[in-house]
Amino acid sequence: MKTSELLDVHPLLFDRVRLSIMAHLSLNKAAVDFNALIEALDLTKGNLSTHMGKLEDQGLIKIEKKFVGKKPHTTYRCTAKGKKEIKKYLSTIESVLRT
Amino acid sequence: MKTSELLDVHPLLFDRVRLSIMAHLSLNKAAVDFNALIEALDLTKGNLSTHMGKLEDQGLIKIEKKFVGKKPHTTYRCTAKGKKEIKKYLSTIESVLRT
């Protein structure tokens, strides 16, 4: 049994919404904007912002804010560290659960 | 993108300790006893009992209590539903994260 391997997985990824966000960002090469993410994952704005703050604090994503004309525009991108953690998550789950 | 598939995964499995417990039980054909599980997963007694109560409420495991001489003896077993949910968890994670 190697269930202790699960302790190496980044704790933030053990949340369904954050895993959805990371899956979405890690599969998109381009940055994804706020509204597209809200729509794709069916989240509320406040909910998304809270998760994004946590993911950025841990260096898993990068948040970019700029003005397009007079409107603020926020985009998100998965960092190299984020991609590494997603890969580790998948390989660990497979290693632990595959018989 | 199929991240919405994650909503089909049983919510109790999005917890590292409960996933460890379910992985351990689902890979053991025999029932596993309380002390063996504590030792294998490095948990406290209270912590294990709480998780087991939640997993049993949802029908993912079966708890069996009996006396061996004068001592109470508790064992756990993964149910068919539990095995199904673990399989669904693995296949969903793979489907969502594999590119």
ipTM: 0.80
Task: Say how far apart CA B56 and CA B63 lie, in whole Å.
Answer: 7
**pLDDT tens digits, one per residue of A9-67:** 999 999 989 999 999 999 888 999 999 999 988 889 999 999 999 999 999 999 999 99
- Helix (H) or strand (E) holding A33, with range, is strand A32-33
Task: Say how far apart CA A28 and CA B39 lie, in whole Å.
Answer: 42
Q: How far is B73 from chain A (nearest CA, A)?
A: 23
The pTM of the full predicted model, rounded to 2 decimals, is: 0.85
B44: Cβ contacts below 8 Å, ≥ 6 apart: B38
Task: Say how far apart CA A21 and CA A16 lie, in whole Å.
Answer: 9
Listed by number, the residues of chain A in 3-62 with a beta carbon closer than 8 Å to a beta carbon of chain B are 3-4, 6-7, 9, 11, 14-16, 19-20, 23-24, 26-27, 40-42
